């Protein structure tokens, strides 16, 4: 029986993704799939398309683009009952690393066709779902400072430039974090993770996982640039020297107090306050058969 696939693709992921998208479509069709291609034009298009197409007419949805494109498609597809595969074409492709999806286009398409559909936990920040993480404070200020033109030119290097800019220019203010268990803590920066990895292969939250209930908040509970620098050094060293990153595990977190920038899955989404929670049975992702 012929597979019916909705391919939602961002043509500007990683620069110019059109040749990669065309190659993916040819490969899928060569392997017996009927492909309905939708190209996004602006932010929000992927979510709208994933929420509106008739689910009874398709067996699979593939999000082709970066982590932000995958997040948009997942938001529109949540609760609709069609599994979602990922074709990584972006700059960081953190979700591909987390899931074990290969970066080679044809290999990733093969995973989409022959992989395992497994239910995952989605997190929700305000009105938006996410698969990876929500960052408040420095992390989000760095995302907000990324220059799109420099991102096309330097790729991941643009995030390093933006991070250095935010390190010297962003002025942290205290937030109040409250867990589902009632623990209250003053923090200056926080990243709430649903996955292990961050920014590539850096392990931010070892206890987190797409198929595990609960979220992990990685926090900086002291002010100042030294505390911020020490946090990132600890992440780079995987907690093996200079102490461990402070992490809190809970089903939900409330963050209030000062107004600070917020990023979700690498996209600037506005400012706090924010309620972050986790939700099961909303979506299935396609994983490689061996993972």
Q: Which CATH number covers residue 191?
A: 2.60.200.40
Nearest to 195 by CA among 107, 254, 86, 120: 120
pLDDT in the model for residue 149: 74
The reply to whether 87 and 33 lie within a common domain is: yes
Distance CA 73, CA 135 (A): 20
pLDDT in the model for residue 291: 53
Residue 148 in any domain: the answer is yes
pTM: 0.91
The reply to whether 31 and 132 lie within a common domain is: no
Residue 273 in any domain: the answer is yes
* CA 125 vs CA 38, 54, 134, 224: distances in Å: 27, 27, 7, 26
The reply to whether 110 and 178 lie within a common domain is: no
Other beta carbons within 10 Å of 234: 18
pLDDT in the model for residue 120: 97
Among 114, 143, 174, give the residue marking a domain's end. 114
The reply to whether 109 and 173 lie within a common domain is: no
CATH number of the domain to which 15 belongs: 3.40.50.10330
The reply to whether 12 and 137 lie within a common domain is: no
User: Which pLDDT tens digits describe the chain residue by residue (291 residues)?
Assistant: 678 999 999 999 988 899 999 999 999 999 999 999 999 999 999 999 999 999 999 999 999 999 999 999 999 999 999 999 999 998 889 999 999 999 999 999 999 999 999 999 999 998 899 999 999 999 999 989 887 777 777 777 777 788 888 888 899 999 999 999 999 999 999 999 999 999 888 899 999 999 998 999 999 999 999 999 999 999 988 888 788 899 999 999 999 998 999 999 888 899 999 999 999 989 999 999 975
The reply to whether 37 and 100 lie within a common domain is: yes
pLDDT in the model for residue 157: 77
pLDDT in the model for residue 168: 86
Residue 184 in any domain: the answer is yes
pLDDT in the model for residue 1: 61
The reply to whether 266 and 147 lie within a common domain is: yes
The reply to whether 105 and 132 lie within a common domain is: no
Number of domains the chain is built from: 2
Give the burial string for 164-191 (b: 16+ CB within 10 Å, else e): eebeeebebeebebbbeeeeebebbbbb
Distance CA 179, CA 172 (A): 21
Burial (0-12, 13-18, 19+ Cβ within 10 Å), 5: buried
The reply to whether 223 and 146 lie within a common domain is: yes
The reply to whether 133 and 110 lie within a common domain is: no
227: containing domain: 128-278
Residue 123 in any domain: the answer is no
The reply to whether 88 and 200 lie within a common domain is: no
């Amino acid at each position: 029986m012929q597979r019916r696939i909705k391919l939602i693709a961002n043509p500007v992921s990683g620069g110019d993704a059109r040749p990669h998208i065309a190659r993916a479509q040819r490969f899928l069709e060569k392997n017996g799939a009927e492909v309905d291609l939708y190209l996004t034009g602006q932010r929000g298009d992927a979510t709208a398309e994933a929420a509106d197409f008739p689910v009874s007419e398709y067996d699979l949805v593939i999000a082709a683009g970066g982590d932000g494109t995958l997040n948009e498609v997942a938001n529109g597809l949540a609760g609709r009952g069609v599994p979602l595969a990922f074709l990584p074409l972006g700059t960081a492709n953190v979700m591909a690393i987390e899931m074990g999806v290969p970066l080679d286009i044809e290999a990733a398409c093969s995973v989409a066709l022959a992989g395992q559909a497994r239910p995952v936990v989605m997190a929700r920040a305000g009105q938006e779902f996410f698969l990876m993480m929500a960052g408040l404070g420095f992390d989000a200020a760095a995302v907000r400072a990324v220059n799109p033109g420099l991102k096309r030119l330097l790729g991941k290097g643009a995030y390093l430039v933006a991070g250095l800019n935010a390190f010297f220019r962003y002025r942290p203010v205290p937030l109040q974090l409250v867990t589902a268990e009632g623990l209250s803590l003053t923090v200056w920066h926080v990243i709430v993770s649903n996955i292990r990895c961050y920014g590539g292969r850096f392990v931010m939250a070892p206890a987190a996982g797409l198929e595990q209930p609960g979220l992990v908040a990685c926090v900086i509970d002291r002010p100042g640039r030294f505390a911020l620098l020490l946090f990132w050094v600890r992440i780079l060293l995987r907690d093996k020297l200079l102490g461990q990153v402070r992490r809190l595990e809970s089903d939900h977190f409330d963050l209030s107090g000062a107004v600070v920038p917020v990023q979700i899955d690498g996209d600037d989404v506005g400012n706090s306050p924010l309620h972050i929670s986790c939700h099961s049975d909303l979506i299935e992702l396609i994983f490689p058969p061996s993972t």
